Chains A and B, each alone.
Chain A
Amino acid sequence: MISERFMHVIEMCSNAIAGRARSHRLLIALGIAVLMSGQAAAESCAELREQHGEDHVSIHCGGAPSATLDADGRLWVAFVQNKHVYVSRSDDNGEKYTAPVKVNAIPEDTEFNGENRPKIIVAESGEVLLSWTTKTSPNFTGEIRFTRSIDSGKTFETPRTMNDDGLMTGHRFDSLFLTESGKLYLTWIDKRDLDAASARNESYPGAAIYYTVSEDLGATFTQNFRVSRNSCECCRIAIAPHGEDEVAILWRQIYDEEIRDHAIAVLGAEGEVTGLNRATVDDWYINACPHHGPTMVQADAEGEYHISWFSAGNLHSGIHYGRYDMASGVAEDIIKVDGTPGAGHPYLAKHDDTLFIVWKGFNGIASQLQMMQSRDNGASWSEPQTLFNTERASDHPLLVSSEHGVFLSWSSEEFGYMFKELSHEN
């Protein structure tokens, strides 16, 4: 414990020193037009390992981090390292982080990759809520895990398995969302129906989408409810609010056994699934794992959603954006965001009247973190801007929004973990 605290102090100090030099270098090297507030405190894991050894646990070394801001504007980040989920907090928007707290005491084969990462939400009353997927065999089986902290992240309850079928089958790609009214939705890709069909010798394309709801911030959950059969098996599920108590989700769904486009639906707290419809018509005929999940945020008009997705279909190829209307069942203002090969993994967020989209491109040498903004509800967009270039490995970019703004949450070998405010264009 003492050494952990000591390491943390060293990490904080070196952050402060290295951060200044690096922020200048970044600015010069990239000539960024859009700027982020604060110092670039990101630190690469390689540097930390040199100082503290190979097993050093840090937000900059952890796999597939995801972030949230609590009601007081404090940043919480969950990441995976050495078969444990860890949580670290920052009270200054990512300048300094608290020593990571181990969430699961017993090691688990926790999934951590672009499409599969731990999710973290902090309720207004302070409960820290977490979900993730734990792999249970090399054959695509997994369990949806949930835990929470009721002492402000000091300790966590023993993780619970949320899929209630007791089957050794696929339960993966979890998504977690807390509505303003306090209903906690946990949804995932589930293979119980595939198993049942196989047992009857029936063919069954893909997997299924299931969910469960908690009305007491994770103390108890409902039974599992099915949203849809025949989902694609390997893409993250996007989730956004619908009214006060419900959520809308967007996922890759199999149509006509061969097409992998997207479906949308509204989930209610008692298992009601409404508005189930095809959201994208790309005609991507593929019997493969795209590993490219969609993103969505609520638009201003009721029942409208900004959505972005990747497809290599006959009708749409590349990253696309559209505004889906639940009432008409149609997406409008569809544009191709980036059709260059290697472009993927878009993420949307909104603040005031500005809609942000970030994604990753690749030009043959470097990965580029790209961004565009729209100030008219997605009708028109700014030119794409490159926020960062890196010639080393990097995670999918994520966005976190609060009443203060939109923040980029991104992990890369070169810059470590960064949490940066994206400024609005004037």
Chain B
Amino acid sequence: MRIRSILLASVLTLLSTQSFADNIQSFGTSTFAELKAGFADKPFVVSLWSVDCLPCRVELEMLGELKKEDPSFPLLLISTDSIENREEAVYILEEYELDGIESWMFADSFIERLRFSIDPAWHGELPRSYFYAADHSFTAHSGILTREKLMEFFSSAQ
């Protein structure tokens, strides 16, 4: 009996790890505030993307290279697609070798509120990115985030 329940438990664990084999986390209305708190007194970059956004792919490619060069680069990568479509997001993240890092997907159908929790002034255009300085003052950018733009952010913050 005991062996059987242990067996059952391991099968269940296996199943559950299989169904969440990716590194995607749910993004809810309070997630952004929590993530920000995790970067207290530290600068970080937010990149918002969607599977349906072509220019986002250019940005993902740059971010993939960047993370390869510097795995500690402080990046919050958030997909505005429903987390129900995580397979499609993972498929794309794999292409840019970003599937290995933790990233987030919108997990509430009321997307207006999720957008608002990130930035009330954002109209929803993608890609959209933010550079947060150590004091958490931020600069927003609509359109592809290039490496040059990123460097510009970091150098102006110093």
Which A residues are closer than 8 A to B by beta carbons?
A: 113, 138, 140, 233-234, 285-292, 310, 312, 341-342, 344, 362, 364-365, 367, 391-393, 413
Contacts of A289 in B (CB 8 A): 50, 52-56, 125-126
Interface-central residue, A113, A310, A341, by most chain B CB under 10 Å: A341
9 closest pairs, A vs B, by CB? A393-B109, A287-B143, A362-B112, A288-B143, A393-B110, A289-B53, A341-B121, A290-B125, A288-B125
- How far in angstroms is the closest Cβ of chain B from A392? 5
**Chain B residues with CB below 8 A from A393, complex form:** 108-111
The answer to whether A342 touches B109, judged by C-beta atoms less than 8 angstroms apart, is: no
| B106-137 to A contact mask, C-beta < 8 Å, 1/0 | 00111111011000111111111000000000
Q: Nearest-CB distance from B123 to chain A (Å)?
A: 6
Given A287-B143, A310-B123, A362-B116, does the pair A391, B92 have CB atoms closer than 8 Å? no
Separation in Å of the A361 CB from the closest CB of chain B? 9
How many A-B residue pairs have C-beta atoms within 8 angstroms? Tell me. 79
How far, in angstroms, from A288 to B123 measured CA to CA in the complex?
12
Task: Pick from B56, B91, B111, B125: contact of A286, CB below 8 A.
Answer: B125
Q: Determine the interface band of chain B, counting residues with CB < 8 A from chain A.
A: 20 to 34
Contact A344 B123 (CB under 8 A): yes
Chain A at the B interface: SS class: loop
> B88 within 8 Å of A by Cβ?
yes
Report B-chain residues with C-beta under 8 Å of the C-beta of A365. Answer: 113
Partner of A312, one of B53, B92, B125, B126: B125
Given A234-B52, A364-B113, 16 more A-B residue pairs with CB atoms under 8 Å apart are A138-B91, A140-B54, A234-B54, A286-B125, A287-B55, A288-B127, A289-B50, A289-B125, A290-B124, A291-B125, A342-B112, A342-B123, A344-B123, A364-B116, A391-B110, A393-B110
- Interface: B142 (CB within 8 A): yes
- Contacting residue for B143 out of A286, A291, A362, CB 8 A: A286
Residues of A within 8 A of B54 (CB): 140, 233-234, 289
Closest to A360 in B: B112
CB distance from A135 to the nearest CB of B (A): 9
| Shortest beta-carbon distance from A206 to chain B in Å | 9
Return chain B residues, CB-CB under 8 Å to A367. Answer: 110, 112
Given known A138-B92, A140-B52, A289-B54, contact A312–B143 (CB-CB < 8 A): no
Say yes or no for B75: interface residue by CB 8 A criterion: no
Chain B residues with Cβ under 8 A from A285's Cβ? 143
Residues of A within 8 A of B116 (CB): 342, 362, 364
- In angstroms, Cα B125 to Cα A289, docked, is 6
- Min Cβ gap A335→B in Å is 19
Q: Which residues of B contact A392 (CB under 8 A)?
A: 109-110
How many angstroms between the C-alpha atoms of A342 and B109 in the bound complex? 16
B144 CB within 8 Å of chain A: yes
Could you list 20 examples of A-B contacts with CB < 8 Å?
Answer: A113-B52, A234-B54, A285-B143, A288-B55, A288-B128, A288-B142, A288-B144, A289-B52, A290-B124, A291-B125, A291-B126, A292-B123, A312-B142, A342-B120, A364-B113, A364-B120, A365-B113, A391-B110, A392-B110, A413-B110
Chain B residues whose CB sits within 8 angstroms of the CB of A292 once the complex forms: 123-125
A341: B residues at CB distance < 8 A: 120-123
* B115 CB contacts on chain A under 8 angstroms: 342
- Residue B51 at the A interface, CB < 8 A? yes
Q: Which residues of B contact A138 (CB under 8 A)?
A: 51, 88, 91-92
CB proximity of B121 to chain A, nearest CB, Å: 5
B53 in contact with A234 (CB, 8 Å): yes
A285 to B91, CA, bound (A): 30
Which B residues are CB-close (under 8 A) to A364? 113, 116, 120
Q: State A290–B127 Cα separation when bound (angstroms).
A: 9
Complex contacts, B122 vs chain A, CB 8 Å: 341
Residues of A within 8 A of B108 (CB): 393
Instruction: List the B side residues contacting A291 at CB < 8 Å.
Output: 52, 124-126
